[in-house]
Structure 1
């Protein structure tokens, strides 16, 4: 009998109830007891839904108050000293402080979860003695059983993945840390065994990355220890996001099941099964439904794949599941009523993917005939979208093919451009600027809502936006910034805004996914050929420039970020999609330049998150990603200064690609990991203009001048002061007005002190 399984369900709720509860608590509108009650209701509703859909193995402990990696750190008492934790179950005040910071302590670092747009909180291990503060998987299992009668499948981040994603220890200390953590993991599993738990899902996505012989030895030690501690618990060792490395060794580990992603990296996993078979004493978790994409599956193709696997793994040892947790997709298509029929019919969000999993498990058990109607329906939906006019625009396809065949290169090298730009702009040493957005107050959001509902006409809304621009141009001048921005008050989201104005995009009404913490985004859907139709940003930027003698940057989102932060079509390559976007954005860059805007920022915060997990695929990706950026920006004059911005990520392994982007100035979001990035520049010369974020905008605290001065001093040890810019580490959209103004005043004061200290006078 083939079982159906879910690897994880979206936390946010169909109407973002989870987000609203968290933010109500953080703002003091509800007490802690009410927060717990609301989140429990949401959690139980999710479990009930999965049960009612017919899922056999329902995950518990996949729900989180913020992030599942942070949950693991809290469970093991991995609380840095600055948060003044006193032992026992971690209070929510400490838990949220680790994620968001508070007035006394900076937050823990946040970075991308593998190659997704989900962010996790990075555990800090240094100087901490781990201890089991509470058995979270056990509590989740008991809740599901007591409240709903569900025999859940507890989920936990595996030991090797947890260690590899943590910081604060040397590589030589890995085994010592493993020895500290393993007894705690063993205790968790032993208590689950005593409770009568059948299956435990141990997530080890790190197994799809490069593994050394030492890592394999560690894996053997880990799972021998865990199996010996709780022999009655069946361990499903779950991998996802790519093909597993060291397949032969991994499949011989003493576990009861191996979960493989048969969508992303599916070719590699399928080839390994063909070449090496699959152990007869293990269950295969067949991840055949895409947990990261939004497209309806061709059930016929999925059944063909499962039939291929059945030659090696019989149905009684098969679990049908998604390729990864459904955390990365919206909750349900049911709320979507405005999409064109061809597109709507081809969509499947979390709830619909659960239905696909159940249908496939039925077909594996009883034959394809039991779902014959569903097979025809899925095939018709996939075919209808493929044949649509939006996916077959030969004018765009031919134009992009011609442009992408040309060299993507600025007229002059950076050194010459720098002289021309300095002559034009006459900027001081250590110029100050911001990344782009300013606070989107309740008033701004209300005005946008009134306009979208038709209660305000276009003139009323334009006048309101101009009032906001006027206010913030004046504030920036008073604060003393050198290069200004218009504030982006007309924009909801840095990707959605552009997608609404480009052909080939569609937008859901409620297709929200979690990005980090309570921050939810509603990714656009790139479903057709992308085309520029008219100027998108010129009106607001040109208006702002008319209000000041200081330079105002035009603000665009780059092609790779738009692609990586959207749900993209799966019928052509991502490289082709990137070039279509680059060609469209090039036309916007040229429109800004024609309107007199001489500084243009093309943000690429998501370049690294699209980096393939397999080393052999990374060079090719970076080559076409860099080319897409250069296609966007290469036609401007030498005097036009191109800026870009990148978010949290490890840059040491792609410095060369960042240089190859040939932006005149890059700003990098580094305040939570400033030291690590500075170390990269100690080892690698960076010859272009650069700004390392000197304060963390994701935290509500206002950093003082001394703190920012330390950031500047550290950076100027390894970077050329003549090329160094000073800025916050990201846009200020989510911050309050008061804290934004106070922080920027401190930043400008820290810059003044730095200019004096280094004798760099204006």
Structure 2
């Protein structure tokens, strides 16, 4: 028996990766210094891997995103970026003015950059897999080179597709037909074979191919493509094929692939295990059993896993114990956490602890006494009840169908709201947050460390709110926000104020690039002991005659972007959070707040990968939103979504029964608008995100206008709002102010033109 781990966080125990990247971007570090720092992080990761497990990869240490790295490796550089010139082009593709589209990686909160295929031949541009393999080999380590598999690379890419019509028009879309793949596959396979040959010459015998797209519901012709791919890659290196996040879509075709080892996620679903037990497993392959959860922070019940391994060992003589999916969804280590609720820390296991769990599992399986004792101790701990609230349970049990419905339908609500708010055509607003400057972060840290009093901190926050209200009025925005200066993160802020949820000090996880967040831990029944946002929102509203939005994070997003309990259904947790948020909505209404935004950016992300499970998920996800947004008819309820594949779920989004939605449209060049051409029933107001806040580039009036004009070809002008595509927290004031001025100018120009017409 061997152990294999992959996907260990590259962030570093003190967020060294983030510091390196951001110092380089600021010009405070040379490329040589950046490279040296990244190499030191890779050595640290390899040291941890080699301490705990037998097998581990090289090639995971990306400077921004692993899909971008694969695109660079195979020479897939869109023509608009010109000739590739190293890091300048790399970061231009990642975060420049014309950056690649960014979206969620499967059903996770990691964002990847979507490769764009233009029909060009692939070629090795930068052999990153070889570079990292030889680097670690040269330092005395023995890793296995790791690459994203060709099929997953193509499946997650977009290509220019001809749009049917009298004129030749092209839009970016995912590959959807066999001929789309056949156009690119031969060239891509040739490059992968060249990569394999280079690794073999460097001493590699095995390669890890991550092919998670095999868990999608694939058509038969797609499996033909997959089989052709693996047949074409035979004969150079032994392939360890890894899938994760769900069950493989065709078990029989999967286990027949010509590879040395096959990986299964045995945590996220039961289907993989059922198929293994029912259909058996090939005798000539190693079975990589993903039994340690790579997405949740709870300690593994090793006793349960040992029994599972005993069953699996009867199927394969070569059993490899592994994590269920990449470990980069977890913080690095639980070790420095010293302020968690009593009894919680010993129930937790972060990435470093997951490596140790793999080691203990192997030792226990082999009968080592100390490991077997630890298995029993953990089982005894995890069998104890934890975090239950009778009051929350009583409130849940009393819910009826009426609790999920607003008092009036939208068509009647909107008339009342328009009379009260009296907003112009193309009303302008922002998504919620404004720049969190170094001063803001320093004051928050000083308050948390006890260096300034609560009174001093609140005075500072009020000054920031005054400042941002004044700026918004000067720019001419129609619906204002308070800026969210008191908030670290849109989920963490609420988690700190809710019972049954814990937050960490050092539990950072990468979301994209250098952007990190600390996912809270839902460990018990959730309740709201007192108002969470009332003080700041009502103060902001007292400073202006214009409406100020109440800003809340929705129940599905709080659930999805947290580590959640595994002892109760997700639906029940979502309803608990929704009831807590409903209490907040009622308090905001009573205080005179007329517009309340309940953000749900994780609404799509939380959906199961396989559509056969969608109805069950969307049923409770929609109800959770409707439960927390059961406001008075005169209260305008907004929601916000960004950076996910929303086109295919517009009918579900519509059922949420909000009044206004804001949605990303800039990086995807307004692609979301296509969805409304097909969904004819759409009558809700919608804010099309007109510029990309993840880029420091300031959008021109022409760029903003282009997106709005495209929207007007599909949607009634009376429905359109104008806003950025996400919050402005990570931007600088010198970028934000001119960008918003351009946005407001375009909205005003369009109003005047339509009045004249």
Secondary structure at the residue paired with 2:699? Answer: coil
Q: Which residue of structure 2 lines up, in the alignment, with residue 320 of structure 1?
A: 321
Q: Within 1, Cα distance between the matches of 2:9 and 2:724?
A: 31
> What's 1:652 paired with?
647
3-state SS of 1:313 partner: coil
Tell me, in whole angstroms, the C-alpha distance in 2 between the residues paired with 1:247 and 1:676: 34
Are 1:117 and 2:109 an aligned pair?
yes
Q: State the distance in 1 between where 2:416 and 2:669 align.
A: 31
Cα pair distance change 1:405/1:357, threshold 3 Å = farther
**Offset at residue 369 of structure 1 (A):** 4.0
CA contact 1:495–1:562 (8 Å) conserved in 2: yes
SS of structure 2 residue aligned to 1:472? helix
- Which residue of structure 1 lines up, in the alignment, with residue 33 of structure 2? 34
Partner residue of 1:301?
304
Cα drift, residue 383 of structure 1? 2.5
**Secondary structure of the structure 2 residue equivalent to 1:263:** coil
Who is 1:362 aligned against? 363
CA distance in 1, matches of 2:570, 2:290: 22
Matched, 1:373 2:365: no
Partner of 1:178: 185
Show the counterpart of 1:608.
Answer: 604
Provide the C-alpha distance between the structure 1 equivalents of 2:368 and 2:660, rounded to a whole number of angstroms. Answer: 57
Q: Partners in 2 of 1:96 and 1:563 — Cα distance?
A: 32
CA shift, 1:135, in A, is: 2.1
Q: Which runs of 4+ in 1 moved over 6 A?
A: none
Match 1:632 to one of 613, 628, 633:
628
Deviates more, 1:367-376 or 1:24-33: 367-376
Q: CA deviation at 1:680?
A: 1.2
Partner residue, 2:244: 240
Contact 1:342/1:381 (8 A) holds in 2: no
Inter-partner Cα distance in structure 2 for 1:404 and 1:11? 46
Residue 513 of structure 1 corresponds to 509
Cα distance, 1:127 vs structure 2: 4.1
- Report the equivalent of 2:169: none
How does the TM-score come out when normalised to structure 1?
0.96
In the alignment, which residue of structure 2 is the partner of 1:162?
Answer: 153
Report how far residue 753 of structure 1 moved: 1.6
Contact kept, 8 Å, 2:364 with 2:372, in 1: the verdict is no
Q: Which moved more, 1:303-312 or 1:515-524?
A: 303-312
Q: Name the SS for the 1:312 alignment partner.
A: coil
In 2 relative to 1, CA 324–63 (structure 1 residues): closer, same or farther, beyond 3 Å?
A: same
440-449 or 404-413, which deviates more: 404-413
- Distance across 1 between alignment mates of 2:35 and 2:698: 29
Q: 1:679 aligns with which of 664, 674, 677?
A: 674
Instruction: Name stretches of at least 5 consecutive residues in structure 2 with no aligned partner.
Output: 162-175
Contact 2:75–2:126 at 8 Å: present in 1 too?
no
Q: Which residue of 1 aligns with 2:522?
A: 526
Instruction: Tell me which residue corresponds to 2:205.
Output: 198
The CA deviation at 1:404 is 5.6
How many residue pairs get aligned? The number is: 740
Select the residue among 83, 93, 96 that pairs with 1:98: 93
Aligned residue number for residue 641 of structure 1: 636
Q: 1:665 aligns with which of 645, 660, 663?
A: 660
State how far apart, in whole Å, the 2-side matches of 1:253 and 1:524 are. 40
1:194–1:709 CA distance, 2 compared to 1 (3 A): same
What is the distance in 1 between the residues matched to 2:152 and 2:76? 15
Equivalent residue for 1:153? 144
Alignment match, 1:66: 64
TM-score by length of 2: 0.96
Deviations 1:193-212 (A, max 9, x none): 22221221100000111111
1:383 match:
383
CA shift for structure 1 position 173: 2.0
1:551 is aligned, of 547, 558, 564, to 547
Question: What stretches of structure 1 of length at least 5 have no aligned partner?
Answer: none
Cα shift at 1:446: 1.0
Compute the displacement of 1:340 (Å). Answer: 3.3
Task: Return 404-413 or 131-140, whichever deviates more.
Answer: 404-413
- Give distance in 1, aligned partners of 2:48 and 2:381: 25
Partner of 2:478: 482
- The corresponding residue for 1:338 is 339
- The answer to which of 531-540 and 354-363 deviates more is 354-363
1:275 paired residue number: 278
> Take 2:55 and 2:756, find their aligned partners in 1: how far apart are those partners?
64
